Amino acid sequence: MSVYVKEVYDKLSKKYPWEKEFLQAVKEVLESLEILLEKEPKYQKYAILERIVEPERTIIFRVPWLDDNGKVQVNIGYRVEFNSAIGPYKGGLRLHPTVNLGILKFLGFEQIFKNSLTGLPMGGGKGGSDFDPKGKSDNEVMKFCQAFMNELFRHIGADTDVPAGDIGVGAREIGYLFGQYKKLKNEFTGVLTGKGLNWGGSLVRPEATGFGVVYFAEEMLKIIKKGIEGSRVAISGSGNVAQYAAQKIINLGGKVMTLSDSNGSVLIKNGLDQEKWEFLMDLKNVKRGRIKEMADKFKDVEYYEGQKPWKLGKFEIALPCATQNELDESDAKELVKNGCLCVAEGANMPSTPEAVNVFLANKISYAPGKASNAGGVATSGLEMSQNSIRLSWTREEVDQKLHNIMINIHRTCYETAKEYKTPGNYVNGANIAGFKKVADAMIDQGII
């Protein structure tokens, strides 16, 4: 590490030693930036690193709500408004028992660079709560969402901060959150994205992150003269991102071999087909069941309790689409040993730093989430544009724009990595390109 980078990182890790995921995300970005900082002393002169690692504002609040038994429950709500240099804060809300400030700071920090890479005017933010939607009734989820919005509404707005979904927040939750915002503010604005189609949502937003990951993987594969058709693909997770990554892989002639949830993984011997995909959609989005039930239903599906997908077979492509740090060094080594060529992250920071080192050392085409999963937020940006002009684009129009954005992000990362003499290193490409735009805007806007 250079002296400047080390100084900033050491100070941060002394200040927040318990925020492990946040420090992990910062370290990865700062290490990539060393080659840029050497060339451009202005970033040190204006203390950009010291400023960019601190959120502009953090809101923490109590969320009391009544469960179905009439008992008072209390959760903690957060919104981290990290950086607004290039646009209003933008980033999802996560509802999961593991949520704490460190997790949201890591996600908000990543979001700054991801949003910058999309080319759209969006700053970085993230929020959520330690509320666990699993096993809760619709009524309880609604009560929680309303209570959460009773505080959050003061801090957000179509030109200030525009939250969206993330783990545990899908169409149902966005509906309840939007309804309560509208009631409190008495205005109908595009304050959340991922809205229903009848009330301001964009076509292709549900599909966007998953489709975008596959579009990005396609571009990486083109560079090494390979394709998705006929490839075996390991996908982790079975939520929003995994579902639509799987659909796009099927459409492009690839074979989806695995899916998972927090209990275990399934190996689908003949690959996921349309019938199984529809079963998955009903299982996860309507019945809210477990992935194990796929093995109960289909003969060629085997369930592995407590296991991740990465060691269950030979895969040319891996798409981690569940959660942070779900793919470790030993998983990465096994993937490489079994002939994996391409890893595109659907989740945020799913590969540990050790796993990333294995991919880079073995010249695997590896895309960090902030580049390959940016299709979701990009389409949220398109939803904001449609809300502003009060028009809706067709499915084809939105999908085409999404596709172009992913091609552009790929090109930007690839060219930037080459320019800074680390060809093929999408980590450096994404971090440097994402950072430069935000850092230059911060310099232009003065010390604020």
Contact residues for ligand NDP, defined by CB under 6 A: 165-168, 209, 237-242, 261-263, 321-323, 326, 346-348, 373, 376
Nearest-angstrom CA–CA distance, 10 and 13? 5
Q: Which is nearer to ligand NDP, 164 or 221 (CB)?
A: 164
Write down the least CB distance from residue 186 to ligand NDP, Å. 29
* CA 3 from centre of chain: 31
Provide, rounded to whole angstroms, the least separation between the CB of residue 2 and ligand NDP.
30
Q: Which is nearer to ligand NDP, 218 or 261 (CB)?
A: 261
CB of 120 vs ligand NDP, minimal distance in Å: 14
Q: Could you tell me which residues come within 8 angstroms of residue 422 by beta carbon, excluding any fewer than 6 positions away?
A: 35, 428, 429
Nearer to ligand NDP (CB atom), residue 116 or residue 240: 240
In whole angstroms, what is the distance from residue 313 CA to residue 359 CA?
A: 18
CB 14 within 8 A of CB 94: no
Minimum separation from the CB atom of position 373 to ligand NDP (A) = 4
Give whichever of 375 and 429 is closer to ligand NDP, judged by the CB atom.
375
Residue among 381, 368, 358 nearest 413 (CA): 368
Contact 371, 430 (CB under 8 A): yes
For ligand NDP, the closer of residues 63 and 266 by Cβ is 266
Residue with the CB atom nearest ligand NDP in the bound state: 239
User: φ, ψ for residue 239 (rounded to 5)?
Assistant: -95, -155
The one-letter code for the residue type at 356 is: V
How far is residue 420's CA from residue 416's CA, in Å, rounded to a whole number? 6
Q: Closest distance between ligand NDP and the C-beta of residue 318, in Å?
A: 14
- Is 421 labeled as catalytic in the residue annotation? no
Query: Judging by beta carbons within 10 Å of its beta carbon (0-12, 13-18, 19+), is residue 282 exposed, middle or buried?
Result: exposed
Out of 114, 126, 308, 437, the active site residue is: 126
Residue type, 272: L
Active site residues: 126
